[in-house]
Amino acid sequence: MAEKEDTKANETKAKEAKAAEAKGAGETAKFNASEFLKGTKEELDKVVWPSRQQLLSESVAVLLMVIISAGVIYLVDNLFSWIAQQVF
């Protein structure tokens, strides 16, 4: 039992040491807004945007699924309400 606790303590100490080492001996990274915006623009340039037709067809598919799901939930709710009224 004591061996397991020692192992866990050693693992915790190793993780803390790695975290301190990665932090750079107490140094914190500075936020640079221009670098952030530049990186964001570079990532957005890599995005493959959908065509208008693809966007419309997928939007319609999502709306249909939402409407069907809402209808099924409504019907099941009414069924359980009816059953509850019959029992109670």
Q: pLDDT tens across 22-73, in order?
A: 555 555 778 899 999 999 999 999 999 999 999 999 999 999 999 999 999 9
Q: Tokens 């750079």 appear where?
A: 24
**pTM for this prediction:** 0.51
Please give the backbone phi and psi of residue 64, each rounded to the nearest 5 degrees, phi first: -60, -45
Contacts of residue 50, Cβ cutoff 8 Å, sequence gap at least 6: 58
Reference 61, options 74, 50, 73, 75; nearest CA is 50
